[in-house]
Amino acid sequence: MARTDFDIVVIGGGAGGLVVAAGGASLGAKVALVEKHRLGGDCLWTGCVPSKTLIKSAQVAHAMRHADRWALSPHDPAPDLANVMERVASVIRGIEPNDSPERFRSLGVDVILGDGRFVAPDAFDVNGRRLTAKTFVIATGSRPAMPPIPGLADAGALTNETLFDLREDVPHLIVVGGGPIGSEMAQAFRRLGSDVTLVDVAPRILPREDEDLADVVLRQMTAEGVRFELGTSIAKVEGRRGDVRVTLEAKDGGERVVAGTHVLVAAGRKVNHEGLGLDAAGVKVDGGRIVVDERLRTTNPRIYVVGDAAGGYQFTHLAEHHAGVVLRQAIFRLFWTRPSTVVPWCTYTDPELARASDSPRTRRSSRASRTKSTASRSTRSTARAPRARPRGSRSSSPIRRAGSSARRSSGRTRAS
């Protein structure tokens, strides 16, 4: 292999990219980390940290209102959303120094703030510098998908990227999407005093959970006053933030208008891969996803993908796990390592729903869709669909320890 400037160049400084960078540097690799916005990624700025901090305030407000359950006087705390959001911002500020460029530079990482692109299979240009490396790691994460609903963008719809900047009252929030983010935020805003209507085209919420468990959450949220419009699509949105009207279309074709003040879109995520020059690098993209094999390798064997950009489950701990898998291959040449098939997760509604991996029902349906997508891909590409195996994912490995201790010392606990 020709001489390169770096052992590892990481593109994207969120959960996955930071663990690759810190873990690689602590193991003696020469590492560059390219970030186009700010280090910390979704989890710190617009994901886990702000959402779980908001949920904590909502839980306290709820407990105060129902304090008689614990033999105390109930009290309505009349939450002020601006104050609650200021607390969210202060929690983020408290963690931010651990993910800062200064800290990563002090670990020996060459941190480059800029928006670059691949110009060849082994070269990435950023800020007028050409970076060559033995291994590149794409860790660019994902962003909220905007459904093509007429009027939605003009109505100033919020996403997780703008929600936590709110400092105004939210009298009536209309949440589009009943997945984990939509459900968590719907309950939190209701507990913080907003009227909330949750709309989903699916007949139920939390589609990855067993139906009977999701139903417990649905009943609790309904009892708290969240209104659900399930099995209903949105025909159009009119008005602007402060006064929005959402036209709902039931399966029988009937239309109804729900008036609210704010719309939050939590209806799926898109992988960030545009503008990276993947063509020049020989990295294939299929159906909006970067094609990766079971080792997280792209169609260019020196380029790996970790975290949300890998196109599977989207969790901070999975991004960190991917980072360990890639480091084992990049540094110790342990090419048999694979991501674990057992992915635990928790949805922070009240009651919380936690699980370790898919239920038999979702496993069956994902097996069916994997078979379908592998069959269709085999005519277009030689790369295989992800087929994770638990082998090589033991947390006792030095890489796992190096990576996760870097993250642990960042103070990143998910439920703050």
311 binds ligand FAD (CB under 6 A): no
- Bridging pattern class, strands 243-250 and 232-240: antiparallel
In this chain, which residue has its C-beta nearest to ligand FAD? 14
Q: How far is the CB of 383 from ligand FAD (least distance, A)?
A: 20
Please identify, among the stretches 5-13, 234-242, 247-255, 286-294, the one whose residues bind ligand FAD according to the rule CB under 6 A: 5-13
289 binds ligand FAD (CB under 6 A): no
Q: Which of 314, 329, 340, 404 binds ligand FAD (CB under 6 A)?
A: 314
Query: Which residues in 335-394 contact ligand FAD (CB under 6 A)?
Result: 348
How far is CA 225 from its chain centroid?
A: 27
Total residues belonging to the chain: 416
Q: Which of 10, 11, 29, 237 binds ligand FAD (CB under 6 A)?
A: 11
Query: Which residues in 117-156 contact ligand FAD (CB under 6 A)?
Result: 139-141
The first and second tokens of residue 199, run together, are 């709309």
Closest CA to 327 of 278, 409, 397, 276: 397
15 binds ligand FAD (CB under 6 A): yes
- Looking at the DSSP bridge assignments, the partners of residue 32 are 9, 110
CA distance 350 to 216: 10
Query: Strand, coil or helix: what is 83?
Result: helix
Task: Kindly tell me the burial class for residue 286, based on how many C-beta atoms sit within 10 Å of its own C-beta (0-12, 13-18, 19 or more).
Answer: middle
Q: Is 272 or 397 the residue whose CB approaches ligand FAD more closely?
A: 272
179 binds ligand FAD (CB under 6 A): no
Which residue reads 């009290």 in tokens? 75
CA distance 19 to 296: 15
Q: How far is the CB of 233 from ligand FAD (least distance, A)?
A: 23
Query: Site map for ligand FAD, 258-277, x if CB under 6 A?
Result: --------------x--xx-
36 binds ligand FAD (CB under 6 A): yes
37 binds ligand FAD (CB under 6 A): yes
Task: Kindly tell me the burial class for residue 275, based on how many C-beta atoms sit within 10 Å of its own C-beta (0-12, 13-18, 19 or more).
Answer: exposed
CA distance 322 to 318: 6
Q: How far is the CB of 377 from ligand FAD (least distance, A)?
A: 22
Which residues of the chain form contacts with ligand FAD (CB under 6 A)?
A: 11-17, 34-37, 41-43, 47-48, 51-52, 115, 139-141, 160, 181, 272, 275-276, 307-309, 314-317, 319, 348, 414
